[in-house]
Amino acid sequence: MSLRRIRFVLWGLVFVVLAVVAVQFWGGRQQTPPSFRPDFALQDGSGQTHTMADFRGKFSLVFFGFTNCPDVCPTTLSEVAQVMDDLGAEADRVQPLFVSIDPQRDRRQGLTEYVTAFHPAILGLSGSDAATKDAADSFKIFFGREEDPAAPDGYTMSHSPGLYLIGPDGEWLRQFAYETPAAEILADLEQRI
């Protein structure tokens, strides 16, 4: 075989390899990510159990927090309240949910009253420690107790601060980072509704 022919074959192989890599790279990018359907079984203030299936047909804004939270929780709930007010007639197509990561203390201190003080549409949910962990795992969030002598009852809670948007079909749509302005959340929802 001549040197020229060997070069031609090698360049042909290089071209084939590059084509295969390009197809795998670009083809992989176009694939739809696997569906992500978080869920829970938690109770409202009257003891009624809710799952994500109860909110099918509506968009859900889900936030995990606790009533003694000094900053992240009240800030996020205030943004959610503003979004609900600004949605006007479309507000009935969105269900805001506050999931307690400190259920025993939050129920004792009045979880329902806490969330409705921000907006009457916000539904506060809590459960056992196991149900709370299952809910957090389903949403892929972190939370944990931290000892703090200066905090009420000598402890506080750390947690993922995101606000999660779940579609009417129960699929996760996106996460809004802490301090996302209400106007940005509203604009996203209005495009989807």
User: In which domain, by residue range, is 149 found?
Assistant: 42-192
Together in a domain, 59 and 119: yes
pLDDT score for 35: 73
Residue 29 binned pLDDT confidence (cut-offs 50, 70, 90): very low
Together in a domain, 82 and 17: no
Together in a domain, 47 and 25: no
Together in a domain, 52 and 115: yes
pLDDT score for 36: 84
Together in a domain, 26 and 46: no
pLDDT at 26 over 60: no
Q: Whats the size of the chain, residue-wise? A: 193
Number of domains the chain contains: 2
Average pLDDT, the chain: 88
Is 36 domain-assigned? no
Together in a domain, 128 and 187: yes
| CA 114 remoteness from chain centre | 21
d(CA 112, CA 137): 23
DSSP state of 69: -
Q: Answer whether 170's CB lies under 8 Å from 56's CB.
A: yes
State percent of the chain over pLDDT 90. 81
* pLDDT tens-digit readout, 107-143: 999 999 999 999 999 999 999 999 999 999 999 999 9
* pLDDT tens-digit readout, 134-174: 999 999 999 999 999 999 999 999 999 999 999 999 999 99
* Average pLDDT of the segment spanning 51-65: 97
Together in a domain, 151 and 84: yes
Q: Which residues contact 91 (CB under 8 A, 6 or more apart)?
A: 84, 85, 121
pLDDT score for 176: 97
Residue 25 binned pLDDT confidence (cut-offs 50, 70, 90): low
If one compares 111 and 14, the residue with the highest pLDDT of the two is 111
Is 115 domain-assigned? yes
Together in a domain, 105 and 47: yes
